[in-house]
Amino acid sequence: MIELPKPPHPIQRIVYFGTPDAAVPPLQALHAAGFEIPLVVTKADARRGRGKKPQPCPVKKAAIELGLAVTDDPADAIAIGAGLGVVVAYGRILRNDLLKVLPLVNIHFSLLPRWRGAAPVERAILAGDTKTGVGLMVIEPSLDTGAIYAQAEIPLETDQTAAELRQRLSLLGSDLLVDTLRNGLPTPTPQKGEATHAAKLTKADLKLDWTEPAVMSQRRTRIGKAWTTFRGKRLVINEAVVVSGDGAPGELRNDTVATGDQLLQLIKVQPEGKKPMQASDWLRGARPEAGEKLG
């Protein structure tokens, strides 16, 4: 582990590194708590939406609204004269020259060492974890291996979506960050326990396999963009619940689909080329024939 100098107490000047929606609440919390943020580092504007015009990321939008300076070059943080860098879902690997001159802490959305990597929220849901949380950790060159300053744990509800859980963890991490910095960073504790890797999700991870148990299929829908096919076209299942019953895997019965054990009741779907809709509306238009299957 890299030995970092303990930042002065109380910490006042903080460079913030972040990109997506989940990184906005901690930035807002630091600003509201009175910490000086001389610079916010985000990813460069990306082409999004119709017309593919360059659009700022959520953290950049929030920083501008708060009147904060923004850059997409992390090297700008070296000479800013801050006592600490806070990193939340930044999405880029920070270079060693920055790590050597600026103490960096990261809000990670899992109970480390479980789910080190890019998709800790999604992997926790897919694995059926019953608890999760956030950790405030030291950043070092190896992936998510740094010692822990503080952690907070919450139960992982069986009907919670990845988006809902990420938002909850973001708010939890915001409180943990502000409280810890106000009291001064303690001596970090090395991670203990078996490490697991939260690999980035692929389309294969989100493909529904109707021979799996219904609870596994439902977990995939909670991640977002879980998909199957119907009559040769992609069908995204946005929301579904497990209900009792059986049948041939993939078989449609009214608004339910048979799986490897029980049934998955469709609530919201998105047919290829269309907007999300209630499953009942899709079924009225599709009019599945008896015995017709998904996948």
Name 55's Cβ contacts closer than 8 Å, sequence gap at least 6: 45, 46, 47, 48, 49
- To which residue do tokens 């990193």 refer? 87
The answer on pLDDT for 139 being more than 70 is: yes
Name the pairing type of β-strands 263-271 and 233-243. antiparallel
Plot region of 215 (φ>0 → left; ψ -120 to 50 → alpha; else → beta): alpha
Question: Region 117-122: what's the mean pLDDT?
Answer: 97
42-101 per-position pLDDT tens digit? 999 988 767 678 999 999 999 999 999 999 999 999 989 899 999 999 999 898 889 999
Q: What is the pLDDT of residue 8?
A: 40
Residue count (the chain): 295
Q: What is the pLDDT of residue 4?
A: 41
Distance (Å) of CA 192 to CA 6, 15, 108, 198:
22, 29, 15, 17
The answer on pLDDT for 158 being more than 90 is: yes
Q: Are 56 and 65 within 8 A, CB to CB? A: no
Q: What domains, with CATH codes, occur in the chain?
A: 13-198 (3.40.50.170), 203-286 (3.10.25.10)
- To which residue do tokens 């998909």 refer? 227
Among the listed residues 30, 97, 88, the one whose alpha carbon sits nearest the alpha carbon of residue 59: 88
Written in H, E and C, the secondary structure of 247-262 is CCCCEEECCEEECCCC
State the pTM of this model.
Answer: 0.92
Tell me the C-alpha distance between 239 and 269, whole Å: 7
pLDDT band at residue 11 under the 50/70/90 scheme:
low
Tell me the C-alpha distance between 171 and 267, whole Å: 28
- To which residue do tokens 């850059």 refer? 71
Tell me the C-alpha distance between 56 and 157, whole Å: 33
Q: What is the pLDDT of residue 197?
A: 97
Cβ neighbours, 10 Å, residue 203: 8
* Mean pLDDT for all residues in the chain: 94
Cβ neighbours, 10 Å, residue 272: 13
Question: Region 18-31: what's the mean pLDDT?
Answer: 98
Tell me the C-alpha distance between 29 and 177, whole Å: 9
Q: Which two tokens stand for residue 47?
A: 């082409």
Tell me the C-alpha distance between 198 and 293, whole Å: 32
Among the listed residues 128, 138, 131, the one whose alpha carbon sits nearest the alpha carbon of residue 108: 138
What percent of the chain is predicted at pLDDT more than 90?
A: 88
